[in-house]
Amino acid sequence: MACLTSMIEPLRAANEISGREAFHWSLITEDGAPVESSAKVAFHPSADLTALRGMTHVIVLSPPNGSFANPRAGNAALRAAERHGTVLGGVSGGVFPLARAGLLEGHLTSVHWCYANAFANEFPNLRTTDDVIVAEARRLTVSGAAAAFDAALMLIDQRLGPEVMTEVACWFQHPLVRGAGVRQKTPALRAAATSDMLPEPVASALQIMSENLEDPISIADICDQISLSPRHLERLFKALTGKSPLSYYRNLRLAAARQLVMYSNKSMTEIALAIGYASAGPFRQRYLETYGLPPDEDRRKINTFRVRDNRPVPST
């Protein structure tokens, strides 16, 4: 729901401030039927997919595992809109349907950090970035709801100029207008810290860890690469994240595994191998210790929440 309102509300305000209908929007679903957001708020669309043609922009909002009831027809509608010059975009999980339709090949894609591993697993050949927004001539990919507000401000700037854009931002007390090239903030496994708040040695160590999830390397090797002693790195990690480097690394791998549990159909053995465990048994035990339930049960719980009558609940 936040992704939808973050795109629409700035455009509505821009119309009001400028005194003209510079922007028009329609809520479109596959069959024109109402959809329920992840916040359990129902939205009533004004059209079905046949209305895509003629739109200047089509922004897809979806959970990562959302799918068309008729994928062939749904994907064809998106491709037809693209052929007729429509700018295609996706916010947060909305990049997944675009990728499944083959519409992100050759394009750099902004992927929310919490979906990054699941996206890379499903689409290993697509180029991604942790920039909050990627704006290209025919594509607009946005990492999340706050970034969707920034993307709307970009559209306002293009159509009505910087004065109206700035006034809209001030209306909503939006403190910083972010554009292309601004990277996402990611949690540092501690409520009071994000990755951009960490000192360079720790940030470098985290980068190395995140690049070596499937084939974990030793903390000693990480220290060699960043020219820091293991003892010094241990002190820094405990002071800044509350965890040892080894514990942090293990939790980072498990967080990546949970994305695959939640947003992929991989078996538990495949997921275990993907984060550096030799078998599913130790992986299940660590997962249970970390999240309070086994990965199989976590997947069932998530699917029970998201699925109704064996179909994904659409999310706006």
Q: What is the pLDDT of residue 36?
A: 84
Token digits of residue 167: 């006034």
At 195 the pLDDT is 62
Can you give the pLDDT at residue 182?
A: 62
Helix (H, G, I), strand (E, B) or coil at 311: strand
Same domain, 149 and 30: yes
Nearest to 146 by CA among 213, 72, 225, 91: 91
Mean pLDDT for 156-165 is 92
Closest-CA residue to 8 (of 149, 146, 143, 157): 149
Query: By C-alpha distance, which of 298, 297, 268, 263 is closest to 283?
Result: 268
- pTM exceeding 0.85: no
Residue 20 belongs to domain spanning: 2-171
Give me 51's structure tokens: 């209305």
Lowest mean pLDDT among 18-27, 139-148, 178-187: 178-187
Instruction: Assess whether 113 and 227 both reside in one domain.
Output: no
Residue 61 has pLDDT above 90, yes or no: yes
* pLDDT digits 0-9 by tens, 249-272: 999 999 889 988 988 888 999 999
Q: Residue 199 in 3-state DSSP? A: coil
Query: 189 in a domain, yes or no?
Result: no
The amino acid occupying position 42 is: A
Residue 152 shares a structural domain with residue 34: yes
Q: What is the pLDDT of residue 307?
A: 44
Is there a single domain that holds both residue 202 and residue 161? no
Q: Report, as an integer, the average pLDDT of 205-234.
A: 93
H/E stretch holding 141 reads: strand 139-142
Give the CATH number for residue 106: 3.40.50.880
φ, ψ dihedrals at 11, nearest 5°: -65, -40
Domain boundary among 115, 137, 171: 171
What is the pLDDT of the chain when averaged over all its residues? 87
Span 163-186, mean pLDDT? 76
Cα 161 to Cα 85: distance, rounded to the nearest angstrom: 23
In a domain, 246, yes or no: yes
Do 152 and 247 sit in the same domain of this protein?
no
What pLDDT score was predicted for residue 134?
A: 94
Specify the number of domains making up the chain.
2
Whether 95 and 137 map to the same domain: the answer is: yes
Residue 123, pLDDT score: 94
* Ranges 87-101, 182-196, 239-253: which has the least confidence: 182-196
Residue 164, token pair as written in the block:
């109206």
278 domain residue, yes or no: yes
Residue 126: predicted pLDDT: 96
Kindly state the average pLDDT of the residues 291-311: 71
- Residues 134 and 234 both lie in one domain: no
Roughly how many angstroms between the first and final C-alpha of the chain, as a whole number?
Answer: 5
In a domain, 178, yes or no: no
Confidence check: pLDDT of 80 > 60: yes
Closest CA to 315 of 180, 177, 105, 115: 115
Residue 102 falls within a domain, yes or no? yes
- From the list 157, 153, 129, the residue with the least C-alpha distance to 143 is 129
Q: Examine the domain organization and report whether 162 and 210 are in the same domain.
A: no
- Residue 13 and residue 16: Cα distance in Å, rounded? 5
Hunting for tokens 């998106």 — which residue is that? 78
Q: pLDDT band at 315, cuts 50/70/90? A: very low
Residue 202 lies in a domain: yes
Do 116 and 161 fall within a single domain? yes
**Token pair in block for residue 212:** 């070596």
pLDDT of 272-290, one tens digit each?
999 999 999 999 999 999 9
SS3 124: coil
Whether residue 43 is contained in a domain is answered as yes
Expressed in percent and rounded to 5, the helix, strand and coil fractions of the chain are 50, 10, 40
pLDDT at position 300, please? 86
Domain boundary among 121, 138, 171: 171
**For 91-133, how does the pLDDT look when each residue is reduced to its tens digit (9 = 90+)?**
999 999 999 999 999 999 999 988 998 899 899 999 999 899 9
Considering 13-17, 65-69, 190-194, 202-206, the range whose residues carry the highest mean pLDDT is: 13-17
Distance CA 153, CA 142 (A): 13
Quick one: pLDDT band at residue 312, thresholds 50, 70, 90? very low
Position 177 in a domain: no
Q: CATH number for the domain including 262? A: 1.10.10.60
Are residue 37 and residue 167 in the same domain, yes or no? yes
**CB-based contact 223:171 (threshold 8 Å):** no
User: What pLDDT, on a 0 to 100 scale, did the predictor assign at position 8?
Assistant: 94
* Percent of the chain surpassing pLDDT 70: 88
Coil, strand or helix at 203: helix
Query: Do both 234 and 157 map to the same domain?
Result: no
Cβ count near 187 (within 10 Å): 14
Same domain, 157 and 213: no
